[in-house]
Structure 1
Amino acid sequence: MKQNKYDDPLFFEKYSQMPRSVGGLNAAGEWYVLRSMIPGLKDKKVLDLGCGFGWHCRYAREQGAQFVVGVDISARMLERARATTHDTAIEYRQQAIEDIDFADGSFDVVISSLALHYVAAYEVVCRKVFRCLAAGGTFVLSVEHPVFTALAAQDWYYDEQGQRLHWPVDNYQQETLRQTRFLDTDVVKYHRTVATLLNTLMDAGFRITTIAEPQPTAEVIAAYPEMKDETRRPIFLLVAAVKPV
């Protein structure tokens, strides 16, 4: 199943108003950790899977990347990315992540930010990324944390006054799709355990180097008070892995 909710005009408009859509990488609570997991990009060939508005593509070029390819299934997302990108060394391609077919060793670094929990064929993507990376190359990815995706409701447990008491976790071991609500829209996400997410990378041939479960900094929470409860449970899982030489 290849989703493309972002080409729905109403969904796209709501997404465009989110802090990370307006403020870019610095408005993303996990960025300060994800950035530290990305290797030096000077003269590197970079692929961004699920590139959205192109924030990571432009960041890679700012860091001296030789060229960048951004892949996204959404025409609307890529239209915005192209409108805000003025760099011939960045190429945007409309394509589902699971359909990529680059030559062996085409890239030095592959990034995927908050996209792979929408993809059914995670195992296939890991194998394709491994193949298109050069030896010694790095795959840095972020997904919604399995603690967050375990229940389709993806919401807190509240008391009678509406106060958030705790984050419920149930059906964790049932690795199936979850019909969730995101921005008032029905969206399919794929729940995988931490073990599955990591073992699939290793089965594809990767060596995992870093795992992170970041929380937003005090500065981010001060700028975006709605993130204050993101310190109470992990919302994102970040992984860096390398293709052995």
Structure 2
Amino acid sequence: MSTALHVARASRVWWEHAADEYQAEHGGFLRDTGFVWGPEGLVEADAGLLGPVDELRGARVLELGCGAGQCSRWLRTHGVEHVVGVDVSHRQLQHARRIDEQTGVEVATAQTDVQSLPFAAGAFDLVCSAFGGLPFVPDAGAALTEAARVLRPGGRLVFSVSHPMRWCFPDEPGERGLTAEQSYFDRRAYVEEDAAGRALYVEHHHTTGDWVRAIASADLVLRDLVEPEWPGSNQQTWGGWSPLRGRLFPGTAIFAAAKPERRAAGGL
């Protein structure tokens, strides 16, 4: 089995078991119809990273790693009709259907791995992802190339991941989480295995430079890099994220990139 398929299997198995607990614990923070970029609580309504909502209403949008579809559902409530959310976990998509029924706002979904998308080239105007799928891929360049493939020329890719510098610190919200214990340049994956040595959870580390090069290798142009500050109003602890750590260094990196328009025949 290839590394990419091995990682996809591990992610699928992990999230099938973790989806219920995740949605129970974090669903209120994420909101049924909310677009939250990360644990700091930055919402798209304030960030405007996808562009003016009025201009999105006729767009075809794909959300990678949609979980229960909260971000996609936020877009739907703002008049964006053509939205598709994909996730590797069937259980996460069952939660999406549950929230669809509760809110009356339906999101089209498909179960698939972000490393191999079942869509035609140029099918979407916008691809977005809030901590969905991309932190778990071994080859960032290949994953972003796949995302770029389904974008039309002139389309945009906006995604958030754990800030690469967080890799240096233990995943602890308290004082221990303020002391660097691992090299920023150590790109070995974090892996949890079962008794038979099979990967149950795999998270990959890519430096900021790795993400920038991955964007460039996908023939995309980096437009913005946002590092949200932790707001004083957010007193929630989420795993290793906390107000204590958030005041000192960023927990989230949001990359915004664009696919260049096609050049005219004979152009330079």
TM-score, L = length of structure 2? 0.77
For 1:72-87, list aligned pairs within 5 A: 72-85=87-100, 86-87=104-105
2:28 maps to 1:22: yes
Is 2:71 aligned against 1:65?
A: no
Deviations 1:99-150 (A, max 9, x none): 2131121111101111311122322221111111111111000011111124
RMSD: 2.5
Q: Does 1:197 align with 2:211?
A: yes
Match of 1:31 among 42, 56, 69: 42
Structure 1 residue runs without a partner (length 5+): none
Contact 1:49 1:110 in 2 (8 A): yes
Give 1:244's aligned residue: 260
Displacement of 1:187 in angstroms is 2.9
Q: Which residue is 1:54 aligned to?
A: 69
1:211 and 1:169 map into 2 onto residues whose CA distance is: 26
Shift of 1:87: 4.2
- Specify the code of the residue in structure 2 equivalent to 1:94: Q
Inter-partner Cα distance in structure 2 for 1:50 and 1:225? 22
Q: Tell me by how many angstroms 1:225 deviates.
A: 6.2
Alpha-carbon separation, structure 2, partners of 1:165 and 1:76: 31
Alignment match of 2:180 (pick from 147, 152, 168) = 168
1:163-217, CA deviations, whole angstroms, 9 ceiling, x for partnerless residues? 4572415322122212369xxxx63210111100111101111111110111232
Percent of residue pairs bearing the same amino acid type: 24
Compute the displacement of 1:57 (Å).
Answer: 0.6
Instruction: Report the counterpart of residue 157 of structure 2 in structure 1.
Output: 139
8 Å CA contact 1:53–1:80 kept in 2: the answer is: yes
More strand by share: 1
Separation in 2, partners of 1:207, 1:23: 32
Residue 37 of structure 1: SS of its match in structure 2?
coil
In the superposition, the TM-score normalised over structure 1's length comes to 0.84
1:187 aligns with 2:168: no
The equivalent residue for 1:120 is: 138
Q: For residues 49-90 of structure 1, what are the alpha-carbon distances to aligned partners after superposition, in whole Å with 9 as ceiling and x for unaligned?
A: 0000101111111222131110001111100101212445x3
Correspondences of 1:97-116 after superposition (within 5 Å): 97-115=114-132, 116=134
SS in structure 1 of the partner of residue 94 of structure 2? helix
Length, aligned pairs only: 230
SS of aligned partner of 2:219: coil
Unmatched segments (≥5 aa) in structure 2? 1-6, 194-199, 262-268
SS in 2 for 1:77: helix
Q: What SS does the corresponding residue of 2:250 show, helix, strand or coil?
A: coil
Native 8 Å contact 2:62 2:83 kept in 1: yes
